[in-house]
Amino acid sequence: MIKPHGSDELNPLFIYDTEQRHALLKEAETLPSLLLNSAAAANAVMLGGGYFNPLTGYMNLADALSVAEKMHTVDGLFFPVPIVNRTDDTGVSAGSRIALRDPNVEGNPVLAIMDVEAVETVSDEQVNVMAEKIFRTLDPKHPGVATFTGLGNTMLSGPIQVLSFSYFQTDFPDTFRTAVEIRNEIKEHGWEKVVAFQTRNPMHRAHEELCRMAMEQLKADGILIHMLLGKLKPGDIPAEVRDAAIRKMVEVYFPPNSVMVTGYGFDMMYAGPREAVLHAVFRQNCGCTHLIVGRDHAGVGDYYGGFDAQTIFDDEVPPHALELEIFRADHTAYSKKLNKVVMMCDVPDHTKDDFVLLSGTAVREMLGKGIAPPPEFSRPEVAKILSDYYQALDA
């Protein structure tokens, strides 16, 4: 099986030993507390599940700046985005041991315990330098920039021991999986070559066929459909609706035991190319050998070029920084000429009228009125789930 990023074995930060975890939870009640923001909490969940291997906790300012500017820590570890705990709370001191509390669960239970190695002030200028490198823009209308620049000017760094997976395990018991669990399941399947498909949206025919194309061209043993379960921008479809739609599509249209439908506990960054590289890092940690990177992967609006998320792997990711490889996908759509879904780059003789193309807005309007999109665009079983959701919104 492919090695994790940066180490021979996966080192998740979740405390799996029940006695030790109970002892730490008891200790946490005696410790000073810090209420995390959602971004820092999501980082803790990802560290706990082994997704951000080989990190042992939150980065300090020097590493965060180095990662933002050069995609590696001061010591040379390749990493595409800073994994930080920024806060407005200035009451924490270096050398202390604190309980990190979950902002996304009622009662703010303990999420992790942190040994605070450093407490550093981050200037607005440094925040902007990092944001511009990560998001390629400082436009406050960009949802990722708006979140990142508002996280606070105090940075806490140091190792953490994770004691909970927040709401992800309880709200999505059939879907949320850690990198550890996904690796184990891949091993149980006996899969060697595994293709990951990242999604924050329901999957229509084009996405479904793209998974098939990748699997066939790479002669892969299986597909990991891996959906984001954390916070999204307003207007995006909730995770539980997406989950139901994707599961129905896999159940009806894929051979048994060829697809794993799973999810991970992270908030969407909308960082385009940088987030695509982060996706590659944690899919390698899951045991995947390939990641499908399509047009405008992890993008939003018009902030990134259509294929920037692919060219970053050529232009900025050092050779051998990752063992995982990417599968480059063009825009896919149903061809009326060929009666199948194709990558547009593979059919230069086609014009726009030869494809079934619908905007997201048009599809939402159809679904809201109970009108199913054409079957060439969306499977009827998927359309029904989405239509029920949109009609309930308008009711």
What residue ranges in 14-69 does DSSP mark as E strands? 33-35, 57-58
For 69, residues 6+ apart whose C-beta sits below 8 A from its C-beta are 129, 133
User: Is-catalytic flag, 177?
Assistant: no
Q: How far is CA 146 from CA 134, 271, 276, 279, 371, in A?
A: 13, 12, 19, 21, 35
* Annotated catalytic residue within 153, 201, 212, 247: 201
State both tokens at 236.
């995006």
Helix (H/G/I), strand (E/B), else coil: 163? coil
Question: Any catalytic annotation for residue 104?
Answer: no
- Note whether 39 and 152 are within 8 A (CB): no
Tokens 């619908």, residue located: 358
Range list of β-strands (E), 53-165? 57-58, 85-87, 97-101, 110-115, 118-121, 154-162
Helix (H) or strand (E) holding 225: strand 222-228
Catalytic residue among 200, 212, 247, 364: 200
User: Exposed, middle or buried by CB within 10 Å (0-12, 13-18, 19+), for 174?
Assistant: exposed
Catalytic residues: 200-201
